[in-house]
Amino acid sequence: METIVSLIVFGPLIGAAIAGLFGQKLGNVPSQAVTTGFLFLSAILSWYVFSQWTWHHLEAFTVTLAPFIHVGDFISNWSIRIDALSVTMLVVVNTVSALVHLYSWGYMAEDPHKPRFFAYLSLFTFAMLALVTAADFMQLFFGWEGVGLASYLLIGFWFHKPTANAASIKAFVVNRVGDFGFALGIMTTYWAFGTIQFAELFPLIAEGASRTWEFAGAHWKLVDLACALLFVGAMGKSAQFFLHTWLPDAMEGPTPVSALIHAATMVTAGVYMVCLLSPMFEYAPIAKDIVTIVGAVTALFAATVGLTQNDIKRVIAYSTCSQLGYMFFAAGVGAYEAAMFHLFTHAFFKALLFLGAGSVIHGMHHEQDMRRYGALWKLLPVTYAVMTIGTIAITGLGIPEVFGFAGFYSKDTIIESAFAWGAENSVGDFAGYIGLLVAGLTAFYSWRVAFFTFHGHKRWGEHDDHAHGHDDHAAHAHDDHGHGHDHKPHESPWVMLVPIILLAVGAVFAGFVFAPYFVGHHENEFWRGAIFSGPENHVLEHAHHSPAWVIWAPLVASITGLLVAAYMYLWKEGLGARLAARKGPFYLFSYNKWFFDELYDATFVRLARILGDFFWKVGDKKIIDGLGPDGVAWLSGKLGKLTGRLQTGYVYHYAFVMLLGVLGLVSYALWAWGS
């Protein structure tokens, strides 16, 4: 088993090294085959390990591969940790990544830099695998920064586009803000408990939970402080409120990148980290409340913004942001199992929606504006079918106690857990009601995408002045106005359709099959200590006995959102466009993403520019250069000119100076002799 898990983790790295270093010599097809082959091998082995854990009761173990950092008492080893959390993430990461690799054979067919693209994909996968199998904070941080680097490379893959370069830099910079908090959280943990090894750290938490730090006249609980700082890192990586602004801009990368990074892998790293650190968060009530509130607000914010966006990928990106909010407030109320379950099911239907959107974009000759779609269901029948499945899954349609698609089981469990926690803490009720409202909003904007894209009258033959974006390929000769959409839309090749069909199967059955293991009657057998619940945490148990109105309310909200979307975009087609044309205050507030970009530009960006100009023009040029090299050069020049005047060229001047020197020397000698 140790050899198998090592191959799972390092297989993608081997593929990335071969394609990245030798891709130009090997050529496109061998590079694609090597990277994709290693990913499918890792995915198959991941499912094998997952099955051994789920049905054959494999015990948790850690494989220590090599020393990483040993400095005094600070010890970090490169390890592979296998438990319920890591095997779940191995399945999620490798399955989605393998299917994205296969999908990219078709989507990137005309791109001239395929070896580089596939090398980046595999490098990203390796970094994510290093993160989820870490046995200490140091390796976790290595993977954390590795996925950040790979996402920067992938978002800016089409570097000839200024918007792609700007988006990759924005993602990198915003994540640095979160990572600063994450690093401080790791330092605080080591300072408080003297170790970063999870196996050593977690047993120490209960005994040391009361430790405080006196600062600014107050006593700060160290566990709360550490967890709050660690959550700042999760806010950046998982695009939570205040640090979310990079996520929609990241849609400038190729669509397979959007599916891999923003659907199932990197953006879920924060959720995974909070669940992994449940032994710490269970003793940090203030930090848990922060997680709950930020998660609920993020879910609401992103859902409201998704209502009015017209770029198909951006709508799905905001949907991801909103669903991550669900996961975080689930963890915040103590239902870590429900958070991981939603992470698991979300991987299937969100990757399906992103890749389905890529299929639409491919069929529409790289047009991304939904206002230039319409009536595509007959021309893209397979894409239409699977995206409808994904829409049903994300909106959580299902009949309680009977059957539902994947999102039905995980989302409803989260809402029920929030209300169960609300019996003890009003923050839980806040999150629960937000979750119900967001369920209705999610249904509306998700069905809006489906109806706007596949139904109504066709708009792709029209030449209008709508602003629209493009998933532009370097090899495609599309102009800046996207006139490629004049060609008749077409279905994608099977190499793109097979992955989304497989994801559609997961979107239908993943919730029904795995609910008993993640949050049901096999829950304790599955998690087996990988998630810690404090002695007073009975949230999930109480959630299973929720009142009828809590059980049925999410379904009512989802159906309401569906009916409103059908009314606006099917029965009264054009109503949405007329409402948008009025440009009311709510529409502008939503369409402009709560004006966060403008606010950050007016404060942080301009302030940084003002400070930069000040330090450059005043601090650097006038003070440092003025008193340093420029000042010394000026003074040397002045002294040179003054001393140059002494060089007259007349002998009697030099003789006079020599006489003065002799007189001075004799005078000094007489004075010294007399003393």
Tokens 């979310």 sit on residue? 244
What average pLDDT does range 497-513 have in this prediction?
94
pLDDT for 231 equals 96
Which has the minimum average pLDDT: 85-89, 124-128, 600-604? 600-604
Task: Give 468 or 629, the one with higher predicted confidence.
Answer: 629
What average pLDDT does range 278-299 have in this prediction?
95
Which residue in 163, 153, 158 sits closest to 112, CA to CA?
158
Categorize the per-residue pLDDT at 264 as very low, low, confident or very high, splitting at 50, 70 and 90: low
pLDDT for 474 equals 37
Task: Give 219 or 659, the one with higher predicted confidence.
Answer: 659
What average pLDDT does range 241-260 have in this prediction?
86
Determine the Cα–Cα distance for residues 153 and 423; give it in Å rounded to an integer.
46
What average pLDDT does range 508-516 have in this prediction?
94
Assess contact for 235 and 66: CB atoms under 8 A: no
Compute, in degrees rounded to 10, the torsion defined by CA atoms 267, 312, 254, 153.
-40
pLDDT for 253 equals 85
pLDDT for 466 equals 43
**Tens digits of per-residue pLDDT, 580-600?**
888 889 999 999 989 988 888
Determine the Cα–Cα distance for residues 186 and 656; give it in Å rounded to an integer.
76
What average pLDDT does range 344-358 have in this prediction?
93
Specify the DSSP class assigned to residue 489.
Answer: P
**Tens digits of per-residue pLDDT, 410-433?**
999 999 999 999 888 899 999 999
Is residue 225 classed as helix, strand or coil in its secondary structure? helix
Which residue in 585, 600, 566, 599 sits closest to 308, CA to CA?
585
Q: Residue 80: beta bridge partners? A: 63
Determine the Cα–Cα distance for residues 39 and 20; give it in Å rounded to an integer.
15
Q: Could you tell me the two tokens for 450?
A: 């489906």
At position 287, the amino acid (one-letter code) is: A
